[in-house]
Amino acid sequence: MMKDKILVIGASGQIGVELTLALRRIYGNAQVVASDLREENDLLKGTGPYVSLDVMNKEMLHVQVIRQNITQIYLLAAILSATGEKNPGLAWHLNTQSLLNVLDIAREEQLQKVYWPSSIAVFGPTSPRQNCPQQTIIEPVTVYGISKYAGEFWCNYYNRRFGVDVRSLRYPGLISYKSSPGGGTTDYAVEIFNEALEEKKYTSFLSAGTSLPMMYMPDAIRATIELMEASAANIAVRTSYNLAAISFSPAEIAAEIKKHIPGFAITYEPDYRQAIADSWPQSIDDSAARKDWGWKHEYDLPGITADMLLNLRQE
């Protein structure tokens, strides 16, 4: 049986760095090819093969897939919610065309599996605010959300029409100390830790009580790999699975940080990202993921806070 050979596109991004390292630990360094338009992230250097790759150049991508004997692709390249609102046309083009390029190549080369992340940004102001279910009213109001929801249906289409085994998760806001956030509306939950340590104060671009679904990066990475390693027979959702851990607001995370840094102070100056946050659910029902492939989160808010501060202090 041919060994799995994985291509990670967008490997230098917030999720890509840690996912690439985790996949290399499981499959072996040589079996996981990292790629990005950007320079190789310092954390990836020396850990395995790296190629400079533009996912929008379909021919170049196709050549790499054949040359490297790729059997699985993780497509992480995207323009996120807050950045996307500054250039909607570019965000739509990159987020959708990159997926179509990968799905086409996966069909042609009969790849084993494709992973593509969606987001809670697919939900809109008409979606239920609490315990937002897997199947519900979905009317996104950001170009990022629109592109992700369209992408979910392309995934479903390629699975049903061509048998491409493509899998997806709707990520909540992600918190990580290893790599920088990429221009999302939940980025405050990473920035706040750095500012707490460096300045002992933080100005939040979201209001005090804005509760959003969040997750610690180790949980998100584990969820991604568990989904991809699950038997195809257990994957009932071919659009994208709701994924959840905890929900909290800037005021709640600030209170938790104060337990570790008593002098920490937070102020609030909501900007254009507040409207984006207000259009999303405050909590997510991910019972389908828990039932179908056994998803369970490990980190709560006190656990995330303690681990973030510990690791950032060591840097």
SS3 of residue 42 by DSSP: coil
- How many residues make up the chain in this entry? 315
144 is catalytic: yes
| Active-site residue (options: 50, 74, 144, 216) | 144
The residues, any chain, with a CB within 8 Å of residue 213's CB and separated by 6 or more, are: 120, 172, 173, 244, 245, 246, 247, 280, 281, 282, 283, 284
Torsion of Cα atoms, 74 then 245 then 235 then 149, to 10°: -60
| Longest CA pairwise span in the chain (Å) | 58
> What kind and span of H or E run contains 19?
helix 14-27
Q: Which residues pair with 247 in a beta bridge?
A: 213
Give the CA radius of gyration of the chain: 19
> What kind and span of H or E run contains 159?
helix 143-162
SS3 of residue 182 by DSSP: coil
The catalytic residues are 144
